[in-house]
Amino acid sequence: MNFKLIIVWLFITAIHFSNVTVAQTSTNTTTASKYENWYNLDPSSDNKFGMSVDKAYNELLKDKKSKPIIVAIIDSGVDIMHEDLQGKIWTNTAEIPGNGIDDDHNGYVDDVHGWNFLGNKKGENILYENSEICRLYKKLDPKYKGLTLNMVKPEDTAEFHYYQRVKARFDEESDKAKKEADKLATFAANYQYADSIVCSFLKKSEFTLAELNALNPDTVKSLKFSKDLLLFLYKQKGFNKSDFKEYLQQVFAKHYCHYNLAFNPRELVGDNPEDITDTIYGNNDVIGLRPDHGTHVAGIVAANRNNGIGVKGVADNVQIMALRVVPDGDERDKDIALAIRYAVKMGAKVINMSFGKEFSPQKKFVDDAVKFAEAKDVLIVHAAGNDGKDIDTAENYPSNTMLDKTRIISNWITVGASSEEKNKDLPASFSNYGKKEVDVFAPGVSIYNLKPGNQYKENDGTSMASPMVTGVAALLRSYFPQLTAAQIKTCICNSVEKYSKKVYLPEEGSKKKTKVRFSELSVSGGVVNAYNAVKLAEKMSSPTNN
C-alpha cells in the first residue's frame, strides 16, 4: 500500500484518539500471488520471466547425480527450525553440541550450524545498530567539529574532507529520519490503540475487513473513531497488518537507533570492531532475534523442492550454513570479513551476501577476506542494492573493487532485481544497476518464500535476487563439482536470457520514466537462466573441453 497516505490521515485523526500505545502481536502473513513459484518458471513456455529452474531439473538433470554443496548465508539469522528447511541445514559434525568446548579448535565454541557475530557468550544478542554514517560521524566529529580547512593539520586534510562529506550525509539522513518519525508518532499510537479497541470488542487478535465493516459503534464512542481509522487502512490496496507494523517499526528504528548518536549497542558484544585480530566474540545462536530476512533468503536458495509443502527453492542438494552479521542498521566490516573467512574455512562453496551500505571504513578487512575466498575457489554472490542508482558511479559496499582499485572478478557476482514482466517493467524500479558493476539480473519482485515460524511471505528486493543466483550457482556446483568458481560464474553470466526491447530505467522515487535498453543495465545484459546455465556447464564439463 501507499504508506504516504498515512501522513495525510494523521492530521485528520490526530485530535480524536488517545495516545495510549497498546502492544500487539501479529501472525499475519502475506497471501501468495497466483504465480508464487514464478521465479522457477520458463520465460517462453510459462510467459513469466523466471529462471527456467523447473525446466532444468525436468529436462536436463532428472537422471543425473549431485553432491551436497554448503552454502553460507551471511545475513540477519536463519530460522533453522522452519518446516521447509528440514534436512537442508549444515551441521558441523566435528563439534559436540552443547558441551561448551571448541572441539574442532576453529576458535568458535559449539558452532554447530554456523556463528552469530552479533552476540556475546552470555547468549545476549544485538538487534538494532547505528548506520555506518552515524558511527563515522561519532568517531570524526570530536576531532573536527567547528574547524575550517585552514585550521586542520596538513596530514589530516584528506580525513577532514571525508569528515565534511560524512557530516553532510549524516545531517541529511538523520533529519529525514526524525521528521518521518515525528509525523508518524501520534498516528502509530492511535493505530495501536484503535487496533486494540477493535480486537477487544471482537474478542480476537485478527479480523477481516468484512468483520470491521459489520461493527456497530453507536454504543461505544472510542469504537467509532477506531473503526474509521482502521477502515481507511484496510481499504488500501495491499494493506497487511503485519507489514504495516513492520513499516512503523522501520521508521522509528531509523530515528531512535540508526541515526541516534547516543546509541551504542556494540558494547553488548564487548569486542573492538576496528581490530580484525579480536575474534573471540559472538555465540552460536544463528537464529537471532529477528531472522525474517535471512530466513527468506535461505528459503530461496534451499527450500525443500520435494516435500509437498511450502515453496520450492532453487537448489535441491544444499546445506545452509547460517552466519549472523546483519542487524537492523548497518553491518560491521569486521563481522563481514570474519564471516566470509569462517564460511571458507568450514567448507562453503558459495556465499550469499544480501546487504550493503554507502560507507566502508574497514574495507581492507573485507577485501582481504574476499581475496582469501578467491584463493580457496569460493564464489561470492552480492545484492546490488535497492536505491535505483547506477553503482558504476554511486558507492555501494561491499564491492569487488579493492582499495588499490584492482578488481576481483573471477569469484564475485553482483545481482540486480528483475520482475516477472516481459515488458518495460522488467527491471525492478528500486534496483541498482551498472554496466560495469552489476553482472546479472535475477527475480526480485513479489518473491513468495519463507518466513520464521513455519510461515511464508512475499518480499521484494535485490536481497531476493541475490539468492536466486546463489541457488543457481549451488545447483551447478552440485551437479558439476569439477567446475571452478570462475567457471561457474562464466556459466551463469554467459547464459543469461536476453530482452532486446527498451525498459524503464530504475529510478526509485522519480516520476519520470526514462527508457533504456535492458542490455545496458548490467555486464551480461540479461536475466539469469538455470536451464541455459546447465547446458553451458555440461559443455564446459565434457571431456573434449578439459
- Say what the pLDDT of residue 517 is: 96
C-alpha cell at 469: 543466483
Question: In this predicted structure, what is the pLDDT of residue 219?
Answer: 63
List the Cα angle 133/139/145 in 5-degree steps. 100
Residue 187 has a pLDDT of 84
Q: What is the pLDDT of residues 174-185, one digit of tens each?
A: 999 999 999 888
| 344: Cβ contacts below 8 Å, ≥ 6 apart | 351, 372, 373, 376, 378
Mapped onto helix, strand or coil, the DSSP state of residue 182 is helix
Lookup result for grid cell 538455470: 530
Can you give the pLDDT at residue 244? 85
Residue bearing cell 461505544 = 220
**C-beta atoms surrounding 204 within 10 Å:** 10
CATH 3.40.605.10 assigned to domain 38-127+270-545? The reply is: no
Amino acid 290: pLDDT: 95
pLDDT at 241: 83
549444515: which residue's cell? 90
Residue 230 near residue 51, CB atoms below 8 Å: no
Question: Which among 405, 353, 346, 417 is positioned nearest to 379, based on CA atoms?
Answer: 353
Backbone dihedral region of 528: left (phi > 0), alpha (psi from -120 to 50 degrees) or beta? beta
Do 244 and 213 form a contact (C-beta atoms < 8 A)?
no
Instruction: Give the span between the Cα atoms of 148 and 399, in whole angstroms.
Output: 33
CA distance 411 to 378: 7
Asked if residues 418 and 426 have their Cβ atoms less than 8 Å apart, the reply is yes
10-residue stretch averages of pLDDT, the chain, 546 residues long = 45 34 28 69 94 98 96 98 98 97 97 98 97 98 97 97 97 96 88 90 88 80 83 82 87 96 97 97 97 98 95 97 98 98 98 97 97 98 97 95 92 97 94 97 97 95 98 98 98 97 84 89 98 97 70
**Neighbouring C-beta atoms of residue 182, cutoff 10 Å:** 10
Q: What is the pLDDT of residue 29?
A: 37
Output the pLDDT for position 12: 39
357 strand-pairing partners: 397
396 class by beta-carbon count within 10 Å (0-12 exposed, 13-18 middle, 19+ buried): buried
CA angle 456, 460, 462 (to 5 degrees): 120
Asked if 528 contacts 51 with a C-beta cutoff of 8 angstroms, the reply is yes
Three-state SS letters, 36-86:
CCHHHCCCCCCCCCCCCHHHHHHHHHCCCCCCCEEEEEEECCCCCCCHHHC
pLDDT score at 201: 87
How far apart (Å, rounded) are the C-alpha atoms in residues 197 and 187?
Answer: 15
The ranges assigned to domains in the chain are: 4-27+132-258, 38-127+270-545
